[in-house]
Amino acid sequence: MIITCPSCATRYTIPPESLGADGRMVRCTACGHRWFVGHEPPAPAEPEVPPPPLDEAPALPPAGEARPGQKPGSSTGATVGWLGVLLLLLLLTGLVLGRNEVVALVPEAAPIYQRMGLPVTREIGLELRGVVSERLDDTESGATGEGDTLRIAGDVVNVSGAERSVPPVRIALLDAARDEVAVHLVEVPQDVLADGASARFELLLDDPPEAASNFSVTFAVPEK
């Protein structure tokens, strides 16, 4: 099944069985947002409505003939008008829901969505998986400082179907208000990944800021 982060609109494909019987909390690897994902309930069956008796069915005028009190052609004009409104609404909905695909085709549209307050996730064919963080003491990290060491690591996976260049990984340390208190760019060992290949990245940070209580991991993709 496909789930979408309500904070940054990043989409993930997960097996339904990973949610268990009652659903579970998940975390977005792109922005760190947490939300609850449950199983989608099956759509209720629509009740069958019996057709009206034949003697109660209203008589319809022949095609092209106006109903009593109706001007000729007014029905056709109203239908065309409503169809135009419906098509416009569908177009606007598609431009909003499919904004990531639109920006991928027309990068100049990204500032427009940003001014509208709509987050845009650029598809680069790479995913961040297995991102973990832990605190290490001096014996585990080999550091010489007096404080402990923060380790953040994960994998970059190529899911594009073709060879892809790998940008640096941007790791931001966040405070309780989710404001950035420190940003680090981590180079991935492999500059290019074949389709389906993966590469490990790791950040070892001595004496991280005391205000840092969370973090986010994204790709450092330059704005176009």
Model confidence at 122: pLDDT above 70: no
Q: What was the pLDDT predicted at 85? A: 82
User: Which tokens belong to 42?
Assistant: 């099956």
**In the chain, where are the structural domains located?**
2-37, 126-219
Q: What was the pLDDT predicted at 111?
A: 58
Statement: residue 164 has pLDDT above 80: yes
Among the listed residues 69, 12, 65, the one whose alpha carbon sits nearest the alpha carbon of residue 35: 12
76: which 2 tokens? 């056709």
Q: Is the pLDDT of residue 200 over 80?
A: yes
Q: What is the mean pLDDT of residues 70-89?
A: 71
CATH superfamily of 126-219: Immunoglobulins (2.60.40.10)
Position with higher pLDDT, 143 vs 40: 40
Q: Mean pLDDT over all residues of the chain?
A: 77
pLDDT at 172: 92
pLDDT for residue 224 is more than 50: no
User: Lowest-confidence range among 10-19, 75-84, 117-126, 189-198?
Assistant: 117-126
Residue bearing tokens 């594009």: 160
What are the tokens at 45? 């069956």
Q: How many residues does the chain have?
A: 224
User: Cβ distance 32 to 174 under 8 Å?
Assistant: yes
- Identify whether the C-beta of residue 124 lies closer than 8 Å to the C-beta of residue 168: no
Mean pLDDT of 147-163: 89
- Predicted confidence at residue 74, as pLDDT, reads 55
- CA distances to 84, 95, 99, 185 from 92, rounded to whole Å, are 12, 5, 10, 37
Does this model's pTM top 0.75? My answer is no
Q: Is the pLDDT of residue 222 over 90?
A: no
Q: What is the mean pLDDT of residues 98-126?
A: 62
How much is the average pLDDT of 55-83?
61
Contact 133, 139 (CB under 8 A): no
Distance CA 33, CA 161 (A): 28
Q: Residue 156, exposed/middle/buried by CB under 10 A (0-12, 13-18, 19+)? A: buried
Mean pLDDT of 65-79: 61
Relative to beta strand 198-206, strand 164-165 is unpaired
Among 85-94, 146-155, 164-173, which is the least confidently predicted range? 85-94
Mean pLDDT calculated for residue range 142-170: 83
Work out the pLDDT band at 88, boundaries 50, 70, 90: confident
Q: Please report the pLDDT score of residue 131 as a whole number.
A: 93
**Given this model, what pLDDT does residue 154 score?**
95
Show Cβ contacts of residue 38 under 8 Å, excluding neighbours closer than 6 positions.
Answer: 19, 22, 23
Please state which of the ranges 76-80, 114-118, 164-168, 187-191 shows the lowest mean pLDDT: 114-118
Question: Which helix (H) or strand (E) element contains residue 205?
Answer: strand 198-206
Count CB-CB contacts under 10 A for residue 173: 23
Alpha helices by DSSP H, the chain: 74-97, 99-105, 110-115, 138-141
The rounded distance, in Å, linking the Cα atoms of 143 and 138 is 5
